[in-house]
Copies of this chain bind each other. A is one copy, B any other.
Amino acid sequence: MLYLVGLGLGSFSDLTMKGYDVLKKCDYVYLDSYTSIFSEEGFKTLDIDGKCILPADREFVEQSSEIIDRAKNHDVAFLVVGDPLGATTHSDIILRAVEKNISYQIIHNASVITAVGCCGLQLYNFGATVSIPLWDEFGHPESFYDKIIMNMKSGFHTLCLLDIKVKERSLENILRDRKVYEPSRFMSCCEAVHQIVDVSNRKAEDQQSRKNAIITKSCIVICLSRLGCDNQKIVVSTISDINEAYLNPEKNGLNFGDPPHCMIIPGIIHELESIFLVARYRNDVDSQIFLPIFYTTQGNSENVLQICQDTIHLHNETVRIMQPTLDHT
């Protein structure tokens, strides 16, 4: 039997009790190590009869048949961060199990796709999720941009999952067939915003793109780091202010938190959502880790709440202008 066990978002304590029981009875336990920020150290804190955790990187999962082969006669658990079929999909390993007539079971868990609800935006108002890739020597793909525009035109929010590069090889090392891996890299919200600004600047020069709408610097962006972890952080700001923070990291004291990051470009922000986003200025609760912080370089401490509300208002106006006039003729 093959068990695909969701680990949730933060630590091994986010494992469900059902998932924990599965681990206890399994003969082999593999950890999807290529999207994971979970440590094998943390795993040792789980009391599962001294079982070892076997790291499974992308190459191993895609190329080796070890997991599937062992699941034929043993109980095997494959641990995946988030939900096993959430942001990182593992349907290929399920299809391989089905082909070999091996039973499987999915133990669901929290995924970044629903946990983003903690920023106060309603999940019903999200369009399709996009991935923003790190630009490198292999290319500068920018299809994510048009997908965000498509959501904004419908008034929908866009969850942007940011690139994670683990065990990647440089072009040179691939060409020379050397198994030398680059250090792991996690894309930050600042980098993602900078790429958006880069595409926007190019689109702004193009008449047709201007007609089809572009993401302006006054648009709101919600930066989330370590979602669902104890040190989660939510910073609400504008494209302009985040890009400024990217260009002059030492100038402001803005800290976006540890990786991994993800990001939301909102569509129309509704009233209840707006109240949630600016709540940090209304009251100062003791433990604020789950509350968004509205960061703005404008105004002073006295009128900052008004500035935040005006910023959201301006964002909504920008999104409304993008929406096509409905043709009822």
Contact = CB atoms under 8 A, between A and B. Distances in A.
Interface string A150-173: 100010100000000000000000
A67 interface: no
A90 to B, nearest CB: 9
A154 B151 CA distance: 10
Number of copies: 2
Contacts of A122: 89, 91
Interface string A9-31: 11111111110110000000000
Contact of A272 (B92, B104, B123): B92
B13 A21 contact: yes
A128 B123 CA distance: 8
Contacts of A59: none
A45 to B, nearest CB: 11
Given A85-B123, A89-B117, A105-B289, 20 more contacts: A1-B287, A8-B108, A8-B109, A10-B18, A13-B18, A14-B17, A14-B18, A15-B17, A16-B109, A83-B114, A83-B117, A85-B115, A86-B123, A91-B117, A95-B279, A98-B285, A99-B283, A108-B114, A109-B110, A126-B128
B20 A17 contact: yes
A257 interface: no
A187 interface: no
A87 B114 CA distance: 9
Interface of A: 1, 6, 8-18, 20-21, 82-87, 89, 91-92, 94-95, 97-99, 101-106, 108-111, 113-115, 117-118, 120, 122-131, 150, 154, 156, 208, 228, 272, 275-276, 279, 282-287, 289-291, 328
B14 A8 contact: no
Which of A10, A16, A154, A328 has the most B CB atoms < 10 Å from its CB?
Answer: A16
B287 A105 contact: yes
Nearest to A108: B110
20 contacts: A6-B110, A13-B16, A16-B109, A82-B114, A83-B114, A86-B123, A89-B122, A91-B117, A91-B120, A95-B279, A97-B285, A98-B291, A103-B285, A103-B287, A104-B290, A106-B290, A110-B111, A113-B123, A124-B128, A124-B131
A291 B112 CA distance: 24
Contacts of A111: 110-111, 114
A114 B117 contact: no
Contacts of A103: 285-287
A169 to B, nearest CB: 25
Contacts of A228: 108
Given A6-B110, A8-B16, A98-B282, A89 B123 contact: yes
